[in-house]
Structure 1
Amino acid sequence: MARTGFFKDHVLPILTVVLAILIVWHVFVVILNAPFEYDQAARAGMPTSFMEVLPKTFAQERPVLPAPHQVVAELWDTTIDKPITSKRSLVYHAWITLSATLLGFAIGTVLGIVLAVGIVHNRAMDRSLMPWVIASQTIPILAIAPMIIVVLNSIGITGLLPKALISTYLSFFPIVVGMVKGLRSPEQIHLDLMRTYNASGAQVFWKLRWPASMPYLFTSLKIAIAISLVGAIVGELPTGAVAGLGARLLSGSYYGQTIQIWAALFMAAGLAAILVGIVGMAHTQVLKRMGARP
């Protein structure tokens, strides 16, 4: 009975959504790839029917929209069949991007928490810094990423750090906002109770504000880790990088290899899901240790 309920409540909805996506995907494969087949037939002076065109739309070498089986085959070839040290391996490229992602995420987390603590405990920082933190996110990352790369290259900083700083730029904002909300979440009655105990500012922070902010922090971290990955990929685009998922997207775009592009996109999506899942597990364990009910 429990297994039936789990399948009905958790597995079946996911399978339904996946099936719907696959149906829509296959329909658009035919719609987008069929014009090329009709054009080829017209150039050859050979009349063709829809039933003759249909199977060809799923087997084009450079389709407008790859079929699901083509993307799966490319993922298998570039993750399983290729050694991970090969520059054609998506595992190799994912590791390059992951390195910048984790470094940028770590810097962004520390920076976000420090800024949030300052904003909550200092009225001047709250009034002066918070508007600038919000305004910083109105600048498109595609515009600022090349500037960061060029400026850092001009002073001799290349490699991993420039991409990590782009990830930091994107990831620190949700952490700042979430932590400010979390640190301010204790009710006034709880703060008054701490004062009646003659608690110091540090004791109020560590025994009340910090524990209360944990749900907000981990929610922000889930957003930040995913957006850090986006920042690392974007950071690879203006540099003409030869390694990383961004490099795979670039090379696929240059040579019209749409299957390669989609495989890299799915690899990035899978990597993001794994990272968010890891943060989610850490969230569960921390709340469990704090005595929260499952």
Structure 2
Amino acid sequence: MTTEALSLPARPSPRKAARRKEGNAGPVFVVVLAIVALWYTGTILMNWQGTADAFARAGEARSTSEILLATMEQERPMLPAPHQVFAELKKTTIDTPVTSRRSLLYHAWVTLSSTLLGFGLGVLLGSVLAVSIVHVKTLERSLMPWIISSQTIPILAIAPIIIVVLGSIGITGLFPKAIISAYLCFFPITISMVKGLTSPDPMQRDLMRTYSASLAQTFWKLRLPASLPYLFTGLKIAVAISLVGAIVGELPTGAQAGLGARLLAGSYYGQTIQIWAALFGAALLASLLVALVGLAERFLSRSMGARPA
């Protein structure tokens, strides 16, 4: 056996990898069961009094078991039961045509459009700021405090201002919501990329200088590859925040479409099941976006020669 073979770590067998996945699935399943049990308990406790009062006003005497079942079948409950939320999700995604304004997929697409545009603008702005800060030290001292301070302003306060100002000059529709998304998501990209671009140690940078490498060559061959793990961490955070910004941007405009509009309509008419379904739809959409960024990271890492985990 050669020394090289001894130094290489042994890869886990497919059977061991499958056992590892099964071991991870068990705790997740237990946590999900605990959450569902707590949710049903909260549904019964929060809806019990209203259900009992409704039966009393109707002059109907019901047993405890009948009241308990009725707490999970209310049309407008204080807290909908899980099966009510999932039934609403099925109704608005599978049973309703995608082109209908009652379809949750239609509203999700409207929000996703402004999310992706804002995410793209945020990535561009954050990357330009990070590269400028790394290469121009005066910008680090002058820009970084303002970048950090910008995130202390509540987005609920600044969103209506952006909408009104852009609307006054005739810019409406998708772009104002994208600006709000970009405002939220450029920060984690800037911070993570600055950290990544400065991660190569001085010995590596000195080695590039001994090779007479230019700033551009050092950037493309050393700094940028070293920054990718940090950058993708920031991208995962940024894409989720970008979705939040798009939803918040729909609230002050009285939008007729989008997940934010769906939330507003549900709150106006007391449709709590609709509100929870829209919240779950937003959570699923955010998870999908984060997963896509993770796939892009894995593909890029493998193309650069990294070993699969």
Q: TM-score, normalised to structure 1's length?
A: 0.97
Distance (whole Å) between structure 2 residues aligned to residue 91 and residue 52 of structure 1: 36
Distance (whole Å) between structure 2 residues aligned to residue 284 and residue 84 of structure 1: 32
Distance (whole Å) between structure 2 residues aligned to residue 20 and residue 5 of structure 1: 23
Aligned-residue offset at 1:18: 1.1
Q: Match for 1:253: what amino acid?
A: S
Name which of structure 1's ranges 151-160 and 14-23 shifts more when overlaid on structure 2: 14-23
Structure 1 position 278 matched with structure 2 position 292: yes
Match of 1:163 among 177, 182, 191: 177
Aligned to 1:120: 134
Gaps of 5+ in 2: 1-14
What are the Cα deviations for residues 45-104 of structure 1, in whole angstroms up to 9, with x where unaligned? 555443221000010000011111111111111001111000000010000000000000
Q: Match for 1:114: what amino acid?
A: V
Aligned to 2:145: 131
Distance (whole Å) between structure 2 residues aligned to residue 124 and residue 32 of structure 1: 57
Q: Structure 1's 114 and 253: CA in aligned 2 closer, same or farther, altered over 3 A?
A: same
Structure 1 position 175 matched with structure 2 position 189: yes
What are the Cα deviations for residues 221-263 of structure 1, in whole angstroms up to 9, with x where unaligned? 0000000000000000000000000000000000000000011
Match of 1:223 among 220, 233, 237: 237
Please show how residues 95-106 of structure 1 align to structure 2 within 5 Å: 95-106=109-120
Aligned to 2:259: 245
Q: Match for 1:209: what amino acid?
A: R
Aligned to 2:38: 24
Please show how residues 1-294 of structure 1 align to structure 2 within 5 Å: 1-2=15-16, 5-294=19-308
The alignment covers a number of residue pairs equal to 294
Name which of structure 1's ranges 106-115 and 14-23 shifts more when overlaid on structure 2: 14-23
Q: TM-score, normalised to structure 2's length?
A: 0.92
Q: Structure 1's 3 and 113: CA in aligned 2 closer, same or farther, altered over 3 A?
A: closer
Aligned-residue offset at 1:293: 2.0
What are the Cα deviations for residues 191-234 of structure 1, in whole angstroms up to 9, with x where unaligned? 11111111111111111101100001111000000000000000
Aligned-residue offset at 1:3: 7.2
Q: Structure 1's 113 and 7: CA in aligned 2 closer, same or farther, altered over 3 A?
A: closer
Q: Match for 1:221: what amino acid?
A: L
Name which of structure 1's ranges 128-137 and 36-45 shifts more when overlaid on structure 2: 36-45
Q: Match for 2:177: what amino acid?
A: K
Name which of structure 1's ranges 120-129 and 34-43 shifts more when overlaid on structure 2: 34-43
Q: SS at 2:228's partner residue?
A: helix
Aligned-residue offset at 1:2: 4.2
Identical-residue share of aligned pairs (%): 65
Q: Structure 1's 179 and 3: CA in aligned 2 closer, same or farther, altered over 3 A?
A: closer
Distance (whole Å) between structure 2 residues aligned to residue 156 and residue 9 of structure 1: 56
Q: Match for 2:217: what amino acid?
A: Q
Q: SS at 1:185's partner residue?
A: coil
Aligned to 2:10: none
Aligned-residue offset at 1:6: 4.0
Q: SS at 1:81's partner residue?
A: coil
Distance (whole Å) between structure 1 residues aligned to residue 200 and residue 166 of structure 2: 42
What are the Cα deviations for residues 124-179 of structure 1, in whole angstroms up to 9, with x where unaligned? 11000010000000000000000000000000000000000000000000000000
Aligned-residue offset at 1:183: 0.3
Distance (whole Å) between structure 1 residues aligned to residue 226 and residue 16 of structure 2: 34
